[in-house]
Amino acid sequence: MRAHHILVAIGAALSLAACESKADKTAEKQADVLEAQAAATPNEAQETALNAKADAIEQKAGDADAGATTANTPDTSPSK
Q: What's the number of domains the chain is made of?
A: 1
pLDDT per residue rounded down to tens, the chain (80 residues):
566 556 555 655 555 455 567 778 888 899 999 999 999 999 999 999 999 999 999 888 776 555 555 555 556 666 65
Handedness of CA 55, 78, 34, 32 (dihedral sign): negative
Structural domain contains residue 4? no
Structural domain contains residue 38? yes
Question: Residue 4 and residue 39: Cα distance in Å, rounded?
Answer: 49
Structural domain contains residue 72? yes
Question: Residue 26 and residue 76: Cα distance in Å, rounded?
Answer: 18
Structural domain for 71, as ranges = 23-80
For the whole prediction, is pTM greater than 0.85?
no
